[in-house]
Amino acid sequence: MTRTDMPTTFDERASLTTFLDYVRDTARAKCDGVSAEDARKAPLPGSPLMTLCGLINHLRWVEYYWFQVAFLGEEDQGPWTDEDPDREMRIAVDIPLAELLAEYEAQSARYRELVAATDLDAKAKTPSRNGTHVNLRWVILHLIEETARHNGHLDMLRELADGQTGV
């Protein structure tokens, strides 16, 4: 996998999509070569859901929510419930990491097509919590922020699992 944060052109769309792909690729790179056992470990006593599998599944479902539910206005089919709002992280330990990564990549490819075909100023069909209909540009920026933040968690979990750093 070749990761780059340098767009081929420096227009807004290329910059946004390059950075989103870069943080996605970084998340996947943090998982390269990790054992199935280590991918399911939750080494932080205060964070029992914080696993490599859990974070990858979380990132997949966060993108699903923002693109399909918020932006496109589709019915929410996510794994979470009112009783278990973090269910996507809980169920991930029962799914092989390779499967989670493949689902995340396939979904990312679909969303790349959506973003390429949609104006950055297009408004989300579903209002956010404060009633604002965010635009596609905001969704992309939010996903860059969310994924980059969790890449720090993935980095920490990977180092605790097997000592690998610097990916």
pTM, rounded to two decimals: 0.95
- Domain span holding position 41: 12-162
- The low-confidence residues of the chain, meaning pLDDT below 50, are none
Q: Which helix (H) or strand (E) holds 150?
A: helix 136-162
Residue 63 lies in a domain: yes
Query: 142: domain CATH number?
Result: 1.20.120.450
pLDDT at 47: 95
For position 3, what pLDDT does the model report?
87
pLDDT in tens, 22-54: 999 999 999 999 999 999 999 999 999 999 999
* Of 1, 9, 28, residue with least CA distance to 155: 28
Q: Which two tokens stand for residue 47?
A: 């964070």
Q: Which amino acid is at 30?
A: K
CA distances from 39 to 45, 54, 56, 116 (A): 16, 9, 10, 33
Tell me if 76 is assigned to some domain: yes
Assigned domain for 123 exists: yes
Whether residue 7 lies inside any domain: the answer is: no
Q: Does a structural domain hold residue 4?
A: no
Instruction: State the total domains in the chain.
Output: 1
